[in-house]
């Protein structure tokens, strides 16, 4: 089989080693030949490429693949071409590098930064993009691989071309009389072209050639001098021969090929400069050593005192080695990336081995791969190679000026006229720039190119949230990043993980829920990235494995807290050290992705910020490059300020990474985080005419605002289950399922199964009426707006099309009355954030109010003290600062949404498929250390007050990690102190119902605990269950019932250790814990002790066993949070800090 048809190989003869047969460029396809002849050919290539792409992301033959193919077909039929998506383009460019048979440095192929410049249509714009490329690639000497891709060839349009062979190269001036050349003989012809275009070089050996750029071959090329500060050069010295410096040799740092075409999916991109970094021999042996280039061997040999008259003195070999030594030494001394040929060869061997493993082969052209010096000393010399061509590819193309139609008068232009540049305006008119004008233009450009182009570098900001804070921070971050990048905010649940490896910049803002778990809308993302990591690590066992495991209780996972002391992640240790990068051999799929993680959490929880830490670790193990260490924002200690410092630092580092620090005034930009983006001039309430615009009812409004399938359930009963001596009560509320329910799959309330025991119901509470009325009065709404008439919040926003400003509805909130907004949609009880306090400070007229509010807004410690002492709701805050006069619309625009509260369903659908029971502890407490006013939990107090027939807005949430075993004969151990018993009532009801149908479930143990017997919940029902054998045992722990010894569920668990252990080991039982997070942590620790006591396991074995139970989903948790223990935990934690 011919190995390389382009070189004219046949089945008998291989001519791959013959090069410069004629002018090599002539044998490359002309632009027209590269263009597929017809639609069919284009579609065949497109189809092949898409198949390749979709199989790489494991979505071959899926709905998305089919839809994409259809849209490509449609575009090709309609327009004769199609566009690649940004991800496809990046994938294609990386693959083209991977397929380049002549490149020895391909091990880095996945680490190519692709700049998508397809939107650029002018030579000036292309020049700016190229400056950006050079700056990014050079990176102050720490070279990075990059490709900039300009617009593809399109039917009826001219090609975009860069006439230079490399972005940076030296001129070669031929002496017409004796034929000698000053400078680089390789560029003589191109130097003449530049001169013809008016460029005048200084005539030295190392004059930088200008960039000659053609935005389309219908237009005249334009000439741009490279801003000298952009081009890094290395003067050459020798480590021991001092005289070497006298030779005056130098070379540039960035090898960037700019004349090749990129062929991908049947499309040709004719201007696609790309760079890697130098291998020493390319400069030393070839550029400086070749006789038809700088030809330095004889000069060096003579200075070395070698006999150059005879080959047998080996002067050439010895001289070339010393030039290599000089190049390597000089580059390394200036910290410019370079690789010697031995190292490069070894890496290539590794790459080849990997490629054979992954792809079954690696196209390689031996003649090009083997280094020109000391070939047989490198392993590649001894390696058999097969050269074949694969698509996508980088292809040679005819020199741009070959068939160019020059204007007659150009023969006369040039140095004599003192012109620097010649071009044509868009209308085709010839434009000539005088030297000064161009010099100015260049300076202007080098300052400005960041603004125009860098905003094209996408910054993906992904958040996962339960209560909305991470989302808010993600938007603040985007506001900041949009000053220099194209920032896009997405919820993790809406993000397609296949794009991850082609992102340039990814910022994660996420909270932690459960007991170290992701928020619900981060679960799928976590799973998919985990899958990616599993896949990678199974292929690269030596690569860094993630240290943490996702999961609830730290017991049973490698302990987050054990591995990572919280202080390591707090603001105090906020540092942006360079973290160790993975080696070339272990490049992961995210090796080209820069990322940073901000983890929200509360230090009251044992797994503080567990999910954020986990994601950070996972992305790092996949080869991602950290822009900054992960930072934990503690809800109990200055979370917002920590976030703002982190955001500024990450922005700074990102600008540095993408070489934008000169173009963006980072301090000015960071100030935007402190400024109010919305003012009373840019937000207002518009009165809505309900005749013209229908007003959504609460169910529709909540569904829209929270993007949830909200329904309405009437209350069928509400009884008080227990009340303790402190007056704390627990209520039992029954709801009827009447209408559409469960993700819209059910239209009438008739089907038998609506949920499973263990699932949750989300309740939308209604804020306290007195509080709402108080706020309406305090804000003076009655005098300005009708509090009960329909209003729509609007903001003044710039229009995308003409840039003018118009009032636009704020989609976050529906049109409704002000009273409804405060009652149903807005959180008016959580203490104001520091940002909101800063806003109030700006609207305070008394100096004292202003000073105090400003202090609270800026001093984290003062703020936390204020917050935890009075736990002030909004009305209390406004009353505390009476001089604050703030516009109601402005205030509303800054208030967070009232979040739904979750309750574990306390019933089984097998008892009544249309009823859902809730067991809720009512939160009521006195602030100010027990001396202040009474405060009530929003939702629990709302639930305590609902009456039969009232309608409650709610939605259903499945909790697949807290369902009964599918093998119903397995034992079930349930630990649920306090209201933690809630889901277990559903479990025992389920067993009872199954039993009545003749189905036998396994044994059930219940551990509950209360302060005293008065607080015990479902007392009678439990006795009945024990009596009828549904519950095999019901253990009750009492903590404040003298003279009974103080006991907790943990103590009862230890007492029953042999039974519990037997159930879990011999009968494959399932263990469930429900309630407060800290209790769950203690229970997990106790369970380890159970294993040690009853099973004789040592500490490590106990850990392993718990981990095994978790992995087998036989250890399950349902975590409520830390509601009751909040004040104790807060104070304890704050004391520690």
Ligand X SMILES: Cc1cc2nc3c(=O)[nH]c(=O)nc-3n(C[C@H](O)[C@H](O)[C@H](O)COP(=O)(O)O)c2cc1C
The annotated binding site for heme b is made up of 103
Q: In the complex, what is the shortest distance from the CB of residue 472 to ligand X, in angstroms, rounded to a whole number?
A: 8
Among the residue ranges 240-248, 420-428, 511-519, 558-566, the one whose residues contact ligand X (CB under 6 A): 511-519
C-beta atoms surrounding 992 within 10 Å: 20
C-beta atoms surrounding 967 within 10 Å: 10
Residues at the binding site are 103
Query: One of 3, 103, 491, 954 is an active-site residue; which one?
Result: 103
Among the residue ranges 351-359, 508-516, 683-691, 727-735, the one whose residues contact ligand X (CB under 6 A): 508-516
106 counts as catalytic: yes
1010 binds, among ligand FAD, ligand X, none (CB under 5 to 8 A by kind): none
CB-nearer residue toward ligand FAD: 621 or 829: 829
Establish if 515 lies at the interface with ligand X (CB under 6 A). Answer: yes
Which positions ≥6 away from 1094 have C-beta within 8 Å? 1057, 1058, 1060, 1061, 1062
∠ at Cα 647 (642, 650), nearest 5°? Answer: 120
Establish if 512 lies at the interface with ligand X (CB under 6 A). Answer: yes
The alpha-helical segments, DSSP class H, found in 895-945 are 938-945
Q: Find residue 763's DSSP bridge partners.
A: 901, 954
Establish if 469 lies at the interface with ligand X (CB under 6 A). Answer: yes
| Binding residues for ligand FAD restricted to 970-1029, rule: CB under 6 A | 979, 982
CA distance 16 to 678: 66
Contact by Cβ (8 Å): 1081, 982: no
Q: In the complex, what is the shortest distance from the CB of residue 1009 to ligand X, in angstroms, rounded to a whole number?
A: 20
Contact by Cβ (8 Å): 173, 191: yes
If we measure between CA atoms, which residue out of 774, 881, 778 comes closest to residue 838? 881
CA distance 628 to 979: 41
CA distance 382 to 3: 19
Among the residue ranges 525-533, 678-686, 900-908, 1024-1032, the one whose residues contact ligand FAD (CB under 6 A): 900-908
CB-nearer residue toward ligand X: 465 or 792: 465
Establish if 468 lies at the interface with ligand X (CB under 6 A). Answer: yes
Given 610, 757, 900, 976, the residue binding ligand X (CB under 6 A) = 610
Among the residue ranges 71-79, 150-158, 680-688, 898-906, the one whose residues contact ligand FAD (CB under 6 A): 898-906
Which helix H or strand E contains 113, and what residues bound it?
Answer: strand 113-117
The upper half-sphere exposure of residue 203, i.e. CA atoms within 13 Å in the direction of its Cβ, equals 2
Establish if 513 lies at the interface with ligand X (CB under 6 A). Answer: yes
Contact by Cβ (8 Å): 614, 515: no
CB-nearer residue toward ligand FAD: 767 or 992: 767
Given 162, 600, 779, 1106, the residue binding ligand X (CB under 6 A) = 600
| Binding residues for ligand X restricted to 295-334, rule: CB under 6 A | none
282 counts as catalytic: yes
| Binding residues for ligand X restricted to 624-683, rule: CB under 6 A | 635
| Binding residues for ligand X restricted to 1054-1113, rule: CB under 6 A | 1077
Angle between helices 639-657 and 834-842 (to 10 degrees): 100
Given 104, 327, 766, 921, the residue binding ligand FAD (CB under 6 A) = 921
Q: Can you give the three-state secondary structure of 1107-1126, one letter per residue?
A: HHHHHCCCEEEEEEECCCCH
Q: In the complex, what is the shortest distance from the CB of residue 557 to ligand X, in angstroms, rounded to a whole number?
A: 12
Phi-psi region of 1018 (alpha: psi -120 to 50; beta: other; left: phi over 0): left
| Cα of 482 vs its chain's centroid, Å | 15
Given 131, 272, 856, 939, the residue binding ligand FAD (CB under 6 A) = 939
Mapping DSSP to helix (H, G, I), strand (E, B) and coil, where does residue 395 land? strand
The upper half-sphere exposure of residue 1056, i.e. CA atoms within 13 Å in the direction of its Cβ, equals 21
If we measure between CA atoms, which residue out of 205, 246, 241 comes closest to residue 324? 241
CA distance 365 to 470: 51
CB-nearer residue toward ligand FAD: 87 or 979: 979
Mapping DSSP to helix (H, G, I), strand (E, B) and coil, where does residue 568 land? helix
Establish if 519 lies at the interface with ligand X (CB under 6 A). Answer: yes
C-beta atoms surrounding 246 within 10 Å: 9
∠ at Cα 923 (921, 928), nearest 5°? Answer: 155
Given 609, 822, 916, 974, the residue binding ligand X (CB under 6 A) = 609
The upper half-sphere exposure of residue 7, i.e. CA atoms within 13 Å in the direction of its Cβ, equals 19
CB-nearer residue toward ligand X: 897 or 1037: 897
610 binds, among ligand FAD, ligand X, none (CB under 5 to 8 A by kind): ligand X
Q: In the complex, what is the shortest distance from the CB of residue 924 to ligand FAD, in angstroms, rounded to a whole number?
A: 8
Distances (CA, A) of 608 to 526, 569, 613, 826, 868: 17, 10, 9, 28, 19
Query: One of 106, 153, 424, 901 is an active-site residue; which one?
Result: 106
Among the residue ranges 144-152, 587-595, 947-955, 1123-1131, the one whose residues contact ligand FAD (CB under 6 A): 1123-1131
Q: In what order do the strands lie in the sheet with 261-264?
A: 267-269, 261-264, 393-395
678 binds, among ligand X, ligand FAD, none (CB under 5 to 8 A by kind): none
Establish if 901 lies at the interface with ligand FAD (CB under 6 A). Answer: yes
Look-up of token digits 């551990």: 1007
Given 364, 766, 938, 1030, the residue binding ligand FAD (CB under 6 A) = 938
CB-nearer residue toward ligand FAD: 282 or 466: 466
CB-nearer residue toward ligand FAD: 863 or 1120: 1120
Q: In the complex, what is the shortest distance from the CB of residue 903 to ligand X, in angstroms, rounded to a whole number?
A: 12
435 binds, among ligand X, ligand FAD, none (CB under 5 to 8 A by kind): none
Site pattern 1040..1059 for ligand FAD (x: CB under 6 A): --------------------
Q: In the complex, what is the shortest distance from the CB of residue 1078 to ligand FAD, in angstroms, rounded to a whole number?
A: 13
If we measure between CA atoms, which residue out of 767, 792, 724, 1062 comes closest to residue 899? 767
Given 150, 170, 614, 1120, the residue binding ligand FAD (CB under 6 A) = 1120
- Tokens read off for 841: 């400070």
Query: One of 282, 355, 471, 1117 is an active-site residue; which one?
Result: 282
CB-nearer residue toward ligand X: 143 or 1080: 1080
Given 465, 670, 794, 1129, the residue binding ligand X (CB under 6 A) = 465
CB-nearer residue toward ligand FAD: 842 or 1126: 1126
Query: One of 277, 315, 366, 368 is an active-site residue; which one?
Result: 277
| Cα of 528 vs its chain's centroid, Å | 13
CA distance 1124 to 79: 65
- Whole-angstrom Cα Rg for the chain: 36
- Tokens read off for 559: 């302990």
Establish if 514 lies at the interface with ligand X (CB under 6 A). Answer: yes
Mapping DSSP to helix (H, G, I), strand (E, B) and coil, where does residue 958 land? coil
Count of positions on this chain that bind ligand FAD (CB under 6 A): 26
Q: In the complex, what is the shortest distance from the CB of residue 857 to ligand X, in angstroms, rounded to a whole number?
A: 18
Establish if 602 lies at the interface with ligand X (CB under 6 A). Answer: yes
If we measure between CA atoms, which residue out of 706, 874, 847, 869 comes closest to residue 774? 874
Given 629, 829, 908, 1050, the residue binding ligand FAD (CB under 6 A) = 829
Instruction: Tell me which residues are annotated as active site.
Output: 103, 106, 277, 282
The residue ranges that bind ligand FAD (CB under 6 A) are 760, 765, 829, 871, 901-904, 919-921, 923, 925, 937-940, 979, 982, 1118, 1120-1121, 1123-1124, 1126-1127
């Amino acid at each position: 089989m011919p190995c390389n048809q382009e070189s004219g190989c046949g089945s008998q003869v291989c001519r791959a080693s013959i090069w410069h047969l004629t002018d090599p460029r002539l044998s490359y396809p002309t632009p027209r030949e590269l263009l597929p002849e017809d639609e069919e050919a284009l579609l065949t290539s497109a189809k092949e490429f898409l198949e390749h792409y979709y199989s790489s992301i494991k979505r071959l033959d899926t709905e998305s693949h089919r839809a994409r193919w259809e849209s490509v077909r449609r575009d090709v039929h309609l327009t004769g071409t199609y566009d690649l998506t940004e991800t496809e383009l990046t994938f294609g460019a990386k693959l083209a590098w991977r397929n380049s048979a002549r490149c020895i440095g391909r091990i880095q192929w996945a680490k190519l930064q692709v700049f998508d410049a397809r939107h650029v249509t002018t030579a000036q714009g292309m020049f700016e993009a190229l400056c950006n490329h050079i700056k990014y690639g050079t990176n102050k000497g720490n070279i990075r691989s990059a490709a900039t891709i300009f617009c593809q060839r399109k039917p009826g349009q001219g090609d975009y071309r860069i006439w230079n062979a490399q972005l940076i190269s030296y001129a070669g001036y031929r002496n017409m009389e004796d034929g000698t050349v000053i400078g680089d003989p390789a560029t003589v012809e191109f130097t003449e072209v530049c001169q013809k275009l008016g460029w005048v070089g200084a005539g030295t050996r190392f004059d930088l050639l200008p960039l000659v750029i053609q935005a389309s071959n219908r237009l005249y090329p334009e000439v741009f001098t490279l801003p000298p500060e952009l081009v890094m050069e290395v003067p050459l010295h020798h480590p021991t021969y001092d005289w070497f410096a006298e030779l005056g040799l130098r070379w540039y740092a960035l090898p960037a090929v700019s004349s090749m075409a990129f062929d991908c999916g049947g499309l040709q991109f004719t201007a696609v400069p790309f760079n890697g970094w130098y291998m020493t021999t390319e400069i030393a042996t070839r550029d400086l050593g070749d006789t038809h280039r700088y030809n330095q061997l004889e000069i060096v040999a003579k200075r070395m005192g070698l006999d150059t008259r005879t080959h047998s003195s080996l002067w050439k070999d010895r001289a070339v080695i010393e030039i290599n030594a000089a190049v390597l030494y000089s580059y390394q001394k200036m910290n410019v990336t370079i690789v010697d040929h031995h190292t490069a060869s070894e890496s290539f061997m590794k790459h080849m081995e990997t490629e054979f493993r992954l792809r079954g082969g690696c196209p390689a052209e031996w003649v090009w791969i083997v280094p020109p010096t000391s070939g047989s000393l490198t392993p590649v010399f001894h390696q058999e190679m097969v050269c074949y061509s694969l698509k996508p590819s980088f292809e040679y193309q005819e020199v741009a000026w070959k068939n160019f139609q020059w204007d007659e008068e150009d023969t006369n232009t040039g140095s004599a006229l003192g012109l620097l540049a010649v071009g044509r305006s868009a209308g085709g008119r010839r434009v000539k720039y005088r030297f000064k004008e161009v010099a100015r233009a260049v300076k202007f450009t080098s300052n400005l190119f960041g603004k125009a182009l860098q905003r094209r570098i996408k910054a993906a900001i992904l958040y996962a949230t339960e209560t909305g804070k991470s989302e808010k921070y993600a938007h603040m971050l985007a506001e900041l990043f949009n000053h220099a990048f194209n920032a896009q905010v997405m919820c993790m649940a809406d993000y397609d993980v296949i794009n991850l490896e082609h992102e340039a910049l990814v910022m994660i803002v996420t909270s932690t829920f459960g007991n170290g778990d992701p928020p619900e809308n981060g679960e799928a993302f976590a799973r998919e990235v985990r899958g990616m990591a599993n896949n990678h690590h199974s292929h690269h066992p030596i690569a860094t494995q993630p240290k943490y495991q996702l999961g609830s209780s730290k017991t049973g996972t490698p302990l987050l807290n054990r591995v990572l002391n919280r202080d390591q992640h707090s603001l105090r240790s906020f540092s942006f050290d360079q973290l160790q990068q993975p080696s070339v051999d272990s490049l992961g799929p995210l090796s080209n992705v820069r990322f940073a993680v901000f983890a929200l959490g509360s230090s009251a929880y044992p797994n503080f910020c567990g999910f954020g830490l986990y994601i950070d670790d996972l992305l790092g193990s996949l080869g991602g490059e950290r822009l900054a260490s992960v930072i934990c924002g503690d809800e109990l200690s200055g979370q917002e300020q920590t976030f703002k410092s982190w955001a500024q630092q990450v922005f700074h580092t990102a600008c540095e990474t993408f070489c934008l620090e000169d173009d963006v005034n980072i301090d000015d930009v960071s100030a935007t985080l402190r400024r109010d983006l919305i003012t009373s001039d840019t937000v207002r309430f518009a009165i809505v005419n309900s005749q013209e615009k229908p007003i959504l009812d609460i169910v529709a409004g909540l569904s829209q605002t929270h993007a949830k399938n909200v329904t309405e359930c009437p209350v069928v009963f509400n009884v008080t289950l227990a009340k303790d001596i402190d007056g704390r009560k627990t209520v039992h509320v029954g709801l009827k399922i009447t209408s559409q329910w469960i993700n819209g799959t059910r239209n009438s309330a008739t089907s038998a199964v609506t949920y499973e025991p263990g699932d949750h119901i989300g309740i939308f509470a209604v804020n306290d009426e007195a509080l709402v009325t108080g706020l309406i009065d305090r804000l003076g709404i009655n005098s300005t707006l009708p509090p009960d008439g329909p209003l729509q919040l609007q903001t003044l926003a710039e229009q995308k099309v003409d840039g003018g400003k118009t009032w636009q509805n704020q989609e976050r909130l529906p049109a409704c009355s002000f009273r409804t907004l405060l009652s149903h949609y807005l959180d008016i009880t959580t203490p104001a954030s520091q940002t909101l306090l800063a806003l109030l400070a700006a609207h305070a007229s008394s100096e004292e109010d202003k000073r105090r509010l400003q202090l609270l807004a800026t001093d984290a410690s003062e703020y936390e003290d204020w917050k935890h002492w009075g736990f002030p709701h909004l009305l209390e805050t406004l009353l505390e600062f009476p001089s604050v006069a703030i516009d109601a619309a402005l205030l509303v625009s800054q208030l967070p949404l009232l979040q739904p509260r979750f309750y574990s369903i306390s019933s089984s659908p097998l008892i009544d498929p249309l009823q859902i029971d809730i067991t809720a502890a009512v939160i009521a407490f006195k602030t100010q250390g027990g001396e202040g006013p009474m405060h009530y939990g929003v939702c629990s107090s709302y639930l305590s007050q609902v009456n039969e027939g009232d309608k409650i807005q709610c939605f259903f949430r499945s909790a697949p990690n807290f369902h009964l075993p599918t093998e119903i004969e397995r034992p079930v151990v349930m630990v649920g102190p306090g209201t933690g018993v809630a889901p277990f009532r559903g479990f025992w009801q389920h067993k009872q119902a199954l039993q009545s149908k003749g189905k036998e479930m396994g044994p059930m143990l219940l551990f509950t605990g209360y302060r005293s017997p008065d607080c015990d919940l479902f007392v009678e029902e439990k006795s009945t269950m024990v009596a009828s054998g549904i519950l095999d045992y019901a253990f009750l722990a009492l903590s404040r019932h003298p003279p009974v010894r103080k006991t907790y569920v943990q103590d009862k668990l230890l007492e029953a250790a042999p039974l519990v252990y037997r159930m879990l080991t011999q009968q494959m039982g399932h263990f469930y814990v429900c309630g407060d997070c800290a209790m769950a942590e203690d229970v997990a620790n106790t369970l380890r002790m159970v294993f040690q006591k009853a099973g004789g396991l040592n500490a490590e074995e106990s850990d392993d066993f718990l981990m095994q139970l978790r992995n087998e989903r036989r250890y399950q948790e349902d975590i409520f949070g830390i509601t009751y223990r909040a004040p104790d935990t807060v104070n304890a934690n704050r004391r520690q800090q």
